[in-house]
Amino acid sequence: MGVYIGLDVSLEETYFCIMDQAGKRLKEGKTVTDPAAVAEAFAPFRNELERVGLEASSIGGWLAAELKGQGLPAIVVEAHHMRSALKAQRNKTGLRRYA
């Protein structure tokens, strides 16, 4: 079964949502915006990982390149393309923001 991850990247923190092919949330949370920390957040799902999606931005592009360097299938998606693909989500990555 394939696993897909959406990342909402900011300078300090990266929010993530991990979903299976059926759209069931497997895990969600946040971590510091550091390639090693981000990759560690979804390490248990690495063998099933189909795609990691990030919104296009200077930070998103950098993080995607770093994740690709670790062998992760990261892609950068333009915001207007992401919006149409994720209309059913509560927000870009389907996360509840935690204080």
Domain span at residue 47 reads: 3-85
pLDDT in tens, 28-54: 999 999 999 999 999 999 999 999 999
Instruction: Identify the DSSP state of 70.
Output: T
| CATH number of the structural domain spanning residue 61 | 3.30.420.40
pLDDT in tens, 49-81: 999 999 888 899 999 999 999 999 999 988 666
98 found inside a domain: no
29 found inside a domain: yes
Q: Using the CB atoms, write b or e for 67-91: b if 16+ within 10 Å.
A: beeeebebebbeeeebeeebeebee
92 found inside a domain: no
Q: How confident is the model at residue 97 (pLDDT cuts 50, 70, 90)?
A: very low
Helix (H, G, I), strand (E, B) or coil at 37: helix
Q: For the chain, what is the domain count?
A: 1
Average pLDDT over residues 88-97: 49
Average pLDDT over residues 13-26: 93
